[in-house]
Amino acid sequence: MLIAQISDLHLRPRGMPAIRLVETNMLVARAITALMALDPRPDVVLVTGDVVNNGTPDEYETAQELLSRLPMPVYAVPGNHDHRENFRKALQRFPGVTSHPRFVQYAIEDFPLRLVALDTHIPRSSAGEMCEERLAWLDKTLAAEPGKPTFIFAHHPPFLCGIGHMDKIRLIEGGERLESIVRANPQVKALAFGHHHRPIETVFGGALASIAPGVAHQVELDLREGEPEGLLNMEPAAYRLWRWDGERLVSHMAYVERFPGPFPFVED
């Protein structure tokens, strides 16, 4: 099973850039074209939040149009830049989005790897949380299928990474409980996040926890102490490809753009 993970699309109304700088609509269209050209083609696409930049209905029109180009199932969760109600309304035809009455939380049972989507959104906040209700849902959902290999995806990472301004707006509530739930459920093979616009990995509750780069702009790698200003840059846009072979889940990072090559390994 091959899973593509795209993150932090920050889509805008038609013809408008994000942050007065980044042509996110064009960059996301390029990422979608790159996914469709993959051989083998991913079985599913996960969208780990910040689908749009300001949460407005006209931005979700762009999202609906672009994501509908993907022929495989698309599973999305909201990020801090999303607006939960507008997200649920505009993306309701995407599976799982409205299955929970309040949150965008759902489990997909159609594949060898069970996919569990978590909603870490806090209205009008850049940070994320897992409240009691969402944690209880996760606990119950994982307990229902303890023997099935499981892959969790959400927007806000629950761990510190050293980039100060992003750490401040990580999953600030419920992270410890989330980690103990993951630890108690060894069927959880990995957790995939977005939000930090960089490729980052660690171990969380005994599972691989991974952050995908952005498919549009990236966040500057800045590990200085204190609180340096958060900056973005235009490092190459990238996504993750997760390959499950029935025993092991492997994460690849792949660039959207093409570079010189490929060349054969000839002898000198």
Under the criterion CB under 5 A, does residue 79 sit at the interface with Fe ion?
yes
By CB under 5 A, which span of 78-86, 93-101, 111-119, 177-185 interacts with Fe ion?
78-86
Q: Chain-centre distance of CA 182, in angstroms?
A: 18
**Residue pair 140/175 in contact by the 8 Å Cβ criterion:** no
**Residue pair 175/130 in contact by the 8 Å Cβ criterion:** yes
Question: At closest approach, how far in Å is the CB of 146 from Fe ion?
Answer: 31
Among 48, 62, 80, 210, binds Fe ion (CB under 5 A): 80
What's the token pair of residue 176? 């410890």
Among 3, 4, 5, 8, binds Fe ion (CB under 5 A): 8
Question: At closest approach, how far in Å is the CB of 174 from Fe ion?
Answer: 17
Under the criterion CB under 5 A, does residue 48 sit at the interface with Fe ion?
no
Distance CA 35, CA 73 (A): 13
Strands (E) located in 162-248:
171-173, 188-193, 200-204, 207-211, 218-219, 232-233, 238-244
Question: At closest approach, how far in Å is the CB of 6 from Fe ion?
Answer: 12
91 vs 142 by CB, closer to Fe ion:
91
Question: At closest approach, how far in Å is the CB of 80 from Fe ion?
Answer: 4
Distance CA 199, CA 242 (A): 13
Distance CA 50, CA 9 (A): 6
Question: At closest approach, how far in Å is the CB of 194 from Fe ion?
Answer: 6
Question: At closest approach, how far in Å is the CB of 195 from Fe ion?
Answer: 4
Report how many residues bind Fe ion under the rule CB under 5 A: 5
By CB under 5 A, which span of 20-28, 45-53, 95-103, 132-140 interacts with Fe ion?
45-53
Binding mask 183-212 for Fe ion (x = CB under 5 A): ------------x-----------------
Under the criterion CB under 5 A, does residue 50 sit at the interface with Fe ion?
yes
By CB under 5 A, which span of 11-19, 75-83, 172-180, 243-251 interacts with Fe ion?
75-83
Question: At closest approach, how far in Å is the CB of 237 from Fe ion?
Answer: 13
Q: What is the DSSP secondary-structure string of 3-40? A: EEEE----B-STT--BTTTB-HHHHHHHHHHHHHT-SS
**Residue pair 250/192 in contact by the 8 Å Cβ criterion:** no
Distance CA 117, CA 108 (A): 8
Kindly list the residues in this chain that would bind Fe ion in the complex (CB under 5 A).
Answer: 8, 50, 79-80, 195
